[in-house]
Amino acid sequence: MSIEEKKKYWLASTHKGMRTQGEAFGDEYSEFSKEWHDFATAHEPDFDEIFDYVTKNLGFEFDWEEYNKRIKK
């Protein structure tokens, strides 16, 4: 899969996941955790570039402070 295809995939997946978590639990950021981040970075060498693209294209302002709290636990 090309980097552009990965960006599109991650954007759709992240948007859907955050929306689902928000509707189900009232917490859009509950899908993010240290374990999730460790897995993602271990399996996707371009994670930082892809996730930067994702957060800039979600259609709403991404809360980096909340995200960073979740992935550091």
Widest distance between CA atoms in the chain? 34
| Encoded tokens for 60 | 């709403």
Q: What is the pLDDT of residues 33-47, one digit of tens each?
A: 999 999 999 999 999
Q: What is the pLDDT of residues 7-66, one digit of tens each?
A: 999 999 999 999 999 999 999 999 999 999 999 999 999 999 999 999 999 999 999 999
CA distance 71 to 23: 21
5 has a pLDDT exceeding 80: yes
73 has a pLDDT exceeding 90: no
The predicted pLDDT at position 30 comes to 94
The predicted pLDDT at position 33 comes to 96
Tell me, what amino acid is at 52?
Answer: D
The number of CA neighbours under 13 Å toward the Cβ of 57 is: 14
Domain boundaries, the chain: 3-72
Cα four-point dihedral sign 38, 73, 50, 28: positive
Question: In 3D, which of 4, 16, 25 has the Cα closest to residue 59?
Answer: 16
